[in-house]
Chains A and B, each alone.
Chain A
Amino acid sequence: MLDKQLAMNLMQESLDSLARSGTLKNQIAMTDETVLMGSGADSGLDSLGFVNFVMDVEDRLQQQLDGDYPVILTDIGGFDINNPILTAGVLADHLVGLAAG
């Protein structure tokens, strides 16, 4: 079972680990409104960093819930591929939905 707070914690752990590995220059404290991808992104993730982040989140989900949970951007409600902006809160909601099947 994954609720939104757990999903946010999991994503924060992922960002922290990317900061420790040097993929992210600075450690950031994520909120619902943190923009992970797109115009105004304040997570510090560049394009390749975002790929790393998503893979890390997938791995953590797999470890926590014992299953495969691929994150597909176009499956995220409200995500517009022509104006791609993804906030932490929206991704967390999506992860909760993914985990619930």
Chain B
Amino acid sequence: MNTDKQHCVISGTSRGLGRALAEHFLGLGYSVAGCSRGDATIDHPDYSHSVVDVRDEAEVQKWARDVRREATRVDVLICNAGLARSALFLPMTPGDVFEDFLGTNFAGVFYVLREFSKLMIRQGSGRILTISSTMAALHQEGTAVYSATKSAVTEMTKVLARELAPQNITCNIIAPAMMETDASAELAKSEEWRDQMLALQTFPRIIEMQEICHAADFFVSDKAASITGQVVYIGLVD
């Protein structure tokens, strides 16, 4: 890993938004350390990949130690890894589906935030972004567990924003509407479902990855040094 560059850590980089963000930050000249449960899907000299299940506390701790050893600092952290899958009305939601959402979307974000924020506290600077969803603001039927985990991420990020402000670390939340990812493509196999979801958005169209990358650019820029604990909804008026 090139130690002269700015360093960005992103969870869930094998596909979807995480991959798009990793490629975006590589394009901006950052070194990027990514992780996923599977092998790397990005081949770039400034990209390093670790196989990590973010639900596993020990694996996340080891990943953070490895990054700390190689990069010595972390300028940007993006907690992206998450599940988006079809769900049922709450009374019919199986316990294992609940546990899956909780483990990946909430515990996974918690472990990554905890381990990498320590590095930022030490260096006295950093930018943290978490990924929520417009679903958390829509209270849509069939999304009780998913939306609850995304709301939890938002609240956790806001509290962390207060805790880390004295160390010049900002923490913000990007909450996109429907994106074209493998997960959403799977869900959108039902055209009726897809049309219903899009109709709930203020801009009833699929959100481009680049739109989310631009929001991330703003939050990590020097101009956003005093902006923390904020949620940006992309595609929706909250």
In the complex, whether A52 has a CB less than 8 A from a CB of chain B is yes
CA distance A47 to B117 in the complex (A): 13
Q: Which of B122, B163, B166, B167 contacts A55 (CB 8 A)?
A: B122
Q: How many residues of B contact A (CB 8 A)?
A: 11
Interface residues of B in 54-80 (CB under 8 A from A): 61-62, 65
Secondary structure class of chain A's binding surface, majority of residues: helix
How many contacts A-B (CB < 8 Å)? Answer: 20
| Cβ B121 vs Cβ A52 within 8 A | yes
Sorted nearest first, the 4 A-B pairs with minimum C-beta distance are A51-B121, A55-B122, A48-B121, A52-B122
In Å, the complex CA distance between A68 and B118 comes to 16
User: Do A55 and B65 have beta carbons less than 8 Å apart?
Assistant: no
Interface residues of A in 57-72 (CB under 8 A from B): 68, 70
Using a Cβ–Cβ cut-off of 8 Å, how many residues does chain A contribute to the interface with B?
Answer: 8
Report if A47-B118 is in contact (Cβ < 8 Å); known contacts: A68-B65, A70-B61.
Answer: no
Q: Which residues of B contact A51 (CB under 8 A)?
A: 118, 121-122
Identify the closest chain A residue to B166 (Cβ).
Answer: A48
Partner of B167, one of A48, A68, A70: A48
Which of chain B's residues has its CB closest to A68's CB? B65
A65 nearest CB across to chain B (Å)? 14
